[in-house]
Structures are given as C-alpha cells and as structure tokens.
Structure 1
Amino acid sequence: MTDSSALDPEDRKIVTLARSARARNGVPEGAAVRDETGRTYVAGTVTLASLQLSALRTAVAMAVASGATSLEAAAVVSDAASVPGEDLAAVADLGGAGTPVLLAGSDGTLRETVAAS
C-alpha cells in the first residue's frame, strides 16, 4: 500500500472524486480523470444490456466528448487487484503512454500507481 497523504493535492482530489462516484452510484468502480487544463471528469461503471464500460473508460469517454485533448492523470477506486489493460489503453489513447493511473481501494487508500500503456 502507498501512503495516500503523500499524494499531490490534485491527485488526492481525483481519488476522492472517484471514491465519491462509486459510493453515490452504488457501482463496482468509480473513476476520475484530469485533462490538460485541469478539468476533471468523474464516472461510475456502466452496466446496460447493450453497453458495458468500466468507470475509467467511461471517464475517458466523457473527457473526449467534452473536447479534452490530453490527460494529466487518472484514478480508479475498485476492489480489483489491478487496472485492466483495456482501461490503461484508453488512458494512453488520450493521455499518452506513461500517464499515471492511480488505483485505490474502496476506502480511498492508494494501492498503486501504474503508467498507462
């Protein structure tokens, strides 16, 4: 586990937003991304009969739909042990390889930071 208090305030903010989305919507995951201008996009898991998206891919899609051209960072709050490759690829598509993706548990404790690829 990583000390969440050591996070940059802006990174701590996106972890908090992701955690809030997960709790508010009662979904398995919450995610938040920060674009090149500092705007944040927050989403939860989407589970419809015709559409299933992870919270992180939904947040990336929201950023793209809002005109973001790059990402500075992403955060996902989940009980999963790791960030799926598809999620890392979506972040890399917009933010570039190496964009930090923060993975936190349901209590908001940072478990790891991985680079999008």
Structure 2
Amino acid sequence: MIARMTEEQPHAAPENPEDRKLLTLARSARARNGVPEGAAVRDETGRTYVAGTVELPSLRLTALQTAVAMAVASGARSLEAGAVVTAAEAPADADRAALRDLGGPDTVLLLAGPDGAVRTATTAG
C-alpha cells in the first residue's frame, strides 16, 4: 500500500519496496546518462518508466516530465507514484504538474539527492 502524504516531509527511506525501486531506477538513470536528473514513475498496472533530463536545442524536459511522457506514450491511464533524483532541494512545479496530470493530486512524489537519500515525500497536489 502506498502511503499518501499531504505535506512535504523529510523521509529516510520509503517503506514500500516498489517506491524504493523507483528511487533506485531514477538514480541509475541519472548516473548512467550523466544528466542532472533521473526519474521513474509507476503506472496503475505496476509498470515502470525511467528517464533522464532531456536538453536539446528545441526541446527541454525535466526527467520526471520525460518519464510521464513515456508512460502516456505507452498507454498508461494513471500513475501511482513518481521519484526524482536531483541536486535540487525541492520538487519543480513542472514535475508536480506532470505527475498530477496523469496520476491526480494524491500521487506520491519522492525527491532524493544524488546519494539516493530522500529529501521529501509529498504528493503531486
């Protein structure tokens, strides 16, 4: 079961193993691709989508926006959770919006630093 949160709160590590998996995948994408952010989302069927930051001259997407786009393009109808690994201290508004668009306001959003330590656990709200 996914714990729903209403406020940003510091979190040592998610209890849900599927949420821990999202963080591991996001961290791996960031490291493997040498990008500023890595992200992963889980859809309503349990499938995961992993992405890094996209920085092209004509297209710029955060890692989470890219992961959400991949989920949509693959036929996902909803999201259960998302995770971002970044040096940023707080979730970007664009990330919350993308997660909320497909998952709704109660979709869990985990933000972790490059070391994998969770900084905040909140919702897309």
Q: Which sections of structure 1, spanning at least 5 residues, go unmatched?
A: none
Q: Matches of residues 1-117 of structure 1 in structure 2 within 5 Å?
A: 1-4=10-13, 6-117=14-125
How many positions carry a matched residue from both structures?
Answer: 116
Give the deviation of 1:86 after TM superposition. 1.2
The structure, 1 or 2, with the larger RCO (C-alpha pairs under 8 Å, 6+ apart) is 2
Structure (1/2) with the larger helix percentage: 1
Distance 1:14 1:36 in 2: 14
Residue 3 of structure 1: how far off its partner (Å): 1.5
User: TM-score, normalized by length of structure 1?
Assistant: 0.96
The SS at the match of 2:27 is helix
Structure 1 outlier segments of 4+, above 3 Å:
none
DSSP 3-state at the match of 2:88 = coil
Measured after TM superposition, the shift of residue 111 of structure 1 is: 0.8
TM-score in terms of structure 2 length: 0.90
Distance in 1 (CA, whole Å) between partners of 2:17 and 2:113 is 18
